Chain A
């Protein structure tokens, strides 16, 4: 697996969740491909200098969310049934990001129409059909 994982132990986000989120993101981006093997719990714990049980907990959570599967004695792998056909993990990441943004917008007191206007403008900017690098 490419060395894409990093953790920030000083963050208030539990370390195991940081690992879960980064693996999901790597899967969504195709950095981790279907069927690709993850490092062993022990190896990742040593690489990140974090507790092996914390890494094991992250892997259990990724199994529960059907992102990876573990074959006894062979290791942990990105599930093949998910990534190729449906970008489920990508949808989850996008939904979380939008949820967070909307919650923040509501918290600072914007109303539905104001949020809609911002959202439409952002949508236009990021999702217009113009080819990349040709924004007039």
Chain B
């Protein structure tokens, strides 16, 4: 069952579409990771999900129903730019949350704040960037919300606290709640998310289960005896999404059927056939900037 369903969302600022026909579904009891370069439309999407920006068109449904004022009790949100009241202390922010949300658990919030190492007596204005993030995250995870929308929930945090946020996210999914989060740290998304969407220029350009994307997408490499080799139509195979030829070496980015394509390459005279795995960072780079990705792959092989 999907707890969040976004269909064909568009948000146009002036004449520029920030989100341009974006669709995605977050299943219940799962973690969804949203990846994309800066300005891809992730934050605008989150704002539309929370009613903080009005969609130009499209639909956002929670358990099949549009957002209502009552929905806010069920949805916890960590915005990209943390919204704290500079003159209030951390304790006063906890108190403010307690008054705003029925299910908010102040004891849990204080426990999380102490785990993150936040001094609860300090005013917001005296907190570092990481500690400000920690305050937002601690309050969100103390909400007992069913849906968590987290825009860069680890930004500014040290590695120990980043891992702690990931554990909290995992724990929510284990309790049956749904989490959608964005991060520029692809490794975090790779670890915690079951499903991902890569967003570029306001559209989803690739989505799926992380494990399935890794299982299907491979680089198939072969070496031909002469420079003037022919690929015998392998390049036209719909599963071959990219062909790189360097001298006698050919490198194919395949989206499925790597072993079969490796056999075909071998049959057409190539030797030294290798099938290389791609991690999520490789997959991401290929999706959003193919040229950089190639350089990256080549560098990695030379160094290994």
Interface stretch among A11-19, A71-79, A86-94?
A: A11-19
| Residue A45 at the chain B interface, CB threshold 8 Å | yes
15 additional contacts (CB under 8 A) given A42-B174, A54-B211, A107-B272:
A9-B191, A10-B190, A11-B279, A12-B276, A12-B279, A13-B214, A14-B215, A16-B211, A49-B191, A51-B30, A51-B173, A51-B193, A52-B170, A53-B29, A53-B194
| Residue A25 at the chain B interface, CB threshold 8 Å | no
Classify chain A: how many residues form its interface, as a range. Answer: 20 to 34
Within 8 A of A (CB), among B208-229: 210-212, 214-215, 218
Q: Hey, which chain A residues are within 8 Å of B274, CB to CB? A: 107
A57 nearest CB neighbor, chain B only: B211
The answer to whether A9 touches B170, judged by C-beta atoms less than 8 angstroms apart, is: no
The answer to whether B187 touches A12, judged by C-beta atoms less than 8 angstroms apart, is: no
| Residue B171 at the chain A interface, CB threshold 8 Å | yes
What is the minimal beta-carbon distance from A123 to any residue of chain B, in angstroms? 26
Within 8 A of A (CB), among B191-249: 191-194, 210-212, 214-215, 218
The answer to whether B192 touches A50, judged by C-beta atoms less than 8 angstroms apart, is: yes
How many A-B residue pairs lie within 8 Å, measured between CB atoms?
Answer: 75
The answer to whether B174 touches A46, judged by C-beta atoms less than 8 angstroms apart, is: yes
Within 8 A of A (CB), among B94-124: none
Classify chain B: how many residues form its interface, as a range. Answer: 20 to 34
Cβ proximity bits A37-55 to B, threshold 8 Å, 1 near / 0 not: 0000110011001111110
- Residue in B170, B187, B212, B278 whose CB lies within 8 Å of A46: B170
Q: Hey, which chain A residues are within 8 Å of B166, CB to CB? A: 49
Q: Hey, which chain A residues are within 8 Å of B214, CB to CB? A: 12-14
Within 8 A of A (CB), among B46-91: none
What is the minimal beta-carbon distance from A119 to any residue of chain B, in angstroms? 20
Q: Hey, which chain A residues are within 8 Å of B279, CB to CB? A: 10-12
The answer to whether B271 touches A107, judged by C-beta atoms less than 8 angstroms apart, is: yes
| Residue A117 at the chain B interface, CB threshold 8 Å | no
| Residue B152 at the chain A interface, CB threshold 8 Å | no
